Amino acid sequence: MAERSHSYRTRAVILRRRNYRDADRILTVFTPRLGKRLLIAKGIRKTTSRKAGHLELFSHTNLLLAKARTWDIITESVTVESFLQLRADLDCISQAAYICELIDAFSAEDDENETVWELLLLCLRELNESATNAARRDLLLRWFEVQLLTQVGFQPELFSCLGCAEELRPGDNFLHLLAGGVFCPKCGGKAKGAQPIASNVLKVLRHLSRTPWGSLRELQIGLPTALAAENVLQRYLVTVLERRLKSTDFIHRLRQASQIRPPAPKQAQQPANGIIEPSDP
């Protein structure tokens, strides 16, 4: 009975890991009801370890843990989802690393957030399913960024002016990263540090914030608009976190090296294809 009371089970996704001592690893994991945890996998780097294959980065695994003073100990691990298609593509790997690094950065230990857990699994599954669709994966990252910011309380204000609280209208609105949102044309001209934001970019960001992924999967966005939305979100994340993520630079280097770009948008007169072009936000 005593042994059972000091053990517990949880599902987890492996966010990060580092070697420890001769054969151990410290794992940073995210769980549905325990939030982020630091765990130790003893002897995992030995060639005889049976747990190694179940504790790969990004794996969704079922763990049996023993409570300990510093880090709880992984005593059993069984893979639930390995995401093999994702692991076969370097771009997918870099994007999964980015998703995991962002969740790690915005999560505190033992801070439960089941909504973020579901968001993490959805994104890993979609990366695995869309391994050959670069444009969809890029869109997924933008959606993930907006959704994660919302869940952790850092969502930018995209619908009402930060100055006068009036509903934002189509036109020359202003983005203020430090203030965390958008000013209307009247208030934005007085806000030091505010920068113009294109109407179509604001439209994309608003659409990402209020639309489930299932309704976005086939959406196509013009390349200039997609890159501009990415730039806004990347700069906002750096502002909030006060640092740049390592995986962001890796993604950009891969993009430059392989010259991967989203496919060119189809003609604007074909709205049935879900193309977002410059228009009212």
CA atoms 276, 216, 107, 181: torsion sign: positive
- CATH hierarchy code of domain 2-81: 2.40.50.140
Q: Is the pTM value of this prediction over 0.85? A: yes
Closest Cα partner for 10 from 83, 72, 97?
Answer: 72
- Token output for 49: 């370890």
Burial of 218 (0-12, 13-18, 19+ CB in 10 A): exposed
pLDDT in tens, 137-190: 999 999 999 999 999 999 999 999 999 999 999 889 999 999 999 999 999 989
CA dihedral 112, 114, 118, 120 (to 10 degrees): -10
Give the Cα separation of 24 and 51 in Å (integer). 11
pLDDT in tens, 42-76: 999 998 888 888 999 999 999 999 999 999 999 99
pLDDT in tens, 7-48: 999 999 999 999 999 999 999 999 999 999 999 999 999 988
Helical (H) or strand (E) element with 40: strand 35-41
- Number of CB atoms found within 10 A of residue 269's CB: 7
Give the Cα separation of 196 and 51 in Å (integer). 52
Q: Return the domain boundaries, the chain.
A: 2-81, 155-276
